[in-house]
Amino acid sequence: MTCFRHRDRLRTLSAAFAFALTAAPLASQQPSYPTRWSPAIAERADVKAALEYLDKRFPKQLEEWARITEMQAKSEHEKMRADYVYGVMEDEGLKVSYDSIGNVTGIREGTGGGPTIVFAAHMDIVHALGTDLKVRFDGDTLRAPGVFDNSASVANLLAVIRAMRIGNVKTKATFIFVATVQEELGLKGMDWWLDHNPKPDLLVGMDGGLGPIMYGALGIYWSKYVFTGAGSHTVTSRGKPTPVKAVADAIAHIYQVNVPPLPQGAVYNVGQIHGGVIFNGIPQELCYTMDLRSPDPVLLDSLDRTLDGIAAAAAKKEGVQWHKEIVQHNKAGGTTATLAGARAHPIVQTAIDIHHSLGIDIGPPGKDAEAFGSTDANMGVVRGIPSIAVGRSFGGNQHTITEWAHWPSALPATKMILLLAVALSDGAVKGIVP
């Protein structure tokens, strides 16, 4: 696919995203938290060269974005994308490796004396193998399943790796670029990577739309509730215990549980119901799945116990058995109050300041960072690693076949990653923690 026919339009729209890299923040937006950002970073010769390269090469980045999107990559089937990412990282001079779960890791050594920083973008998508992933250009919009979540971030990551080489960007930090697998199955690839590698100093998850900086972790509990009974032919079923009634009763009571809303409350959903093999009989087994999420570990565990109680009561009432299977329990990072220390880490304000310097609207002060998140960065948060998630572009309808992404906004998002990397590596901490 070629994007050269869009070049003139791209230049026009890029002008609309005029990024005053050297402009100082407005007085009302002066950070009250420590930051490593300074406009002088963008004036360094090596950084300017890298930024200019991103501008010049952006049409090619769009082509690569579309090419990546069109590669099948359902969770556990990311090999085509992984091989592509591996090849690019190798060509750009990184020390590249696969691990046993399928993650691709590329290491760019620093000059020394700086932190070790992970930038992670997940390669997998939710769409079934064989789904038509053809990308369609529609004005300033790309349309295709998976084009926003998370193909955009993979393309942004590769663009930054290239720009750092072309600009010969010098950093004290060692950067570890990780293209992860199975994020959509519960952040499994990032979880595995952190369990099997030395602990990094900082972690940046490249995932989500452009918006508030996420420095928390949404706890995610996936559970299956299984109800069993003796079963019966329909003809002899009158009055006999049935898992169907127990499941129906449990689900009805589940949706009567009131919880405070996100981002500090919780959300839950019965995603699947399975069971039964014939029309003319009481099923011997029936189950439903629960997706329960909250950033508050106390609330999360309390609701989990409430759901268990509902299942137990429904089974007892109907006279059937039940048990619970834990599919995945990802820990919650904590509330805004408990994560005050995480908010005060320079990684958060640095990201905010860079977004502002690029003219990217992520919300007003006080709303530009949230103790929330449902990305690979969660795995760092719950391990005590200073971690944030940042966006890839504007877009929407993710996890559907009508998914879309606003392609001009991927350019400032990519520049943001480059500047964030340099600032976290070499920036001087400014500001005070209130």
pTM tops 0.85, yes or no? yes
Residues 107 and 83 in one domain: yes
**CATH code where residue 265 lies:** 3.30.70.360
Quick: pLDDT tens for 395-427.
999 999 999 999 999 999 999 999 999 999 988
Residues 39 and 118 in one domain: yes
Q: For residue 256, give both structure tokens.
A: 């009567």
- Round to whole Å and give the CA distance between 330 and 262: 17
Domain boundary among 298, 330, 362: 330
Residues 294 and 342 in one domain: no
Domain boundary among 299, 330, 361: 330
Tell me the average pLDDT across 72-94. 98
Residues 289 and 166 in one domain: no
Kindly report each contact of residues 430-434 with a partner whose C-beta sits within 8 Å and lies 24 or more positions away, as own/partner: 430/31, 430/34, 430/35, 430/36, 430/38, 431/31, 431/32, 431/33, 431/34, 431/35, 431/349, 432/32, 432/34, 433/33, 433/34, 433/344, 434/32, 434/33
Quick: pLDDT tens for 15-49.
334 433 333 344 444 448 999 999 999 999 999 99
Q: How many domains does the chain contain in total? A: 2
Sign, Cα dihedral of 250, 253, 254, 255: positive
Residues 81 and 165 in one domain: yes
* Contact (Cβ atoms closer than 8 angstroms) between residue 218 and residue 295: yes
pLDDT given at position 431: 61
Residues 190 and 254 in one domain: no
The residue segments making up the domain with residue 200 are 24-217+334-426
Residues 154 and 52 in one domain: yes
Residues 209 and 118 in one domain: yes
pLDDT given at position 427: 80
**CATH code where residue 116 lies:** 3.40.630.10
Residues 403 and 258 in one domain: no
